[in-house]
Amino acid sequence: MRKEDGVNESAETLRIALPLMTRYKVPTTPENYSIWFHYVIGDRPGLNDFIDNLLEQKTPFTQDVNEHIYQQFLSDQHLQQAEQVSKTLVSALAETTAALRHTGSEADHYHSVLSSFDKSCGSAQSLTDVFELLNTVLKETQSMQQSMKRLQQDFLVKSDDMDKLRKELDQVRKQASTDALTGLYNRTTFFDSLEAVDAESNPLSNPYSVAMIDIDHFKRVNDTFGHLVGDKVIRFVADSLRQSIKGRDCAARYGGEEYALLLPETSLENAVILCNKIREHIAKTNLVRSGTKESLGQITISVGIAQKRSGEGRMDLLARADKALYLSKERGRNKVTASDE
pLDDT tens-digit map of 131-170: 565 556 556 656 656 666 665 666 566 666 666 656 665 6
* Domain 187-338 -> CATH class: alpha beta
pLDDT of residue 52: 87
Residues of the chain with pLDDT under 70: 1-14, 75-176, 341
pLDDT of residue 7: 42
- How many C-beta neighbours within 10 Å does residue 301 have? 27
pLDDT of residue 73: 76
- The catalytic residue positions are 257
How far is it, in rounded angstroms, from Cα 253 to Cα 241? 10
pTM of the model: 0.56
What phi and psi values does residue 175 have, to the nearest 5 degrees? -65, -40
pLDDT of residue 28: 74
Three-class SS state of 258: strand
CB-based burial, 227-247: b 16+ in 10 Å, e otherwise: eebbebbbebbbebbeebeee
pLDDT of residue 181: 86
Residue 33 identity (one-letter amino acid): Y
- How many C-beta neighbours within 10 Å does residue 221 have? 22
pLDDT of residue 112: 57
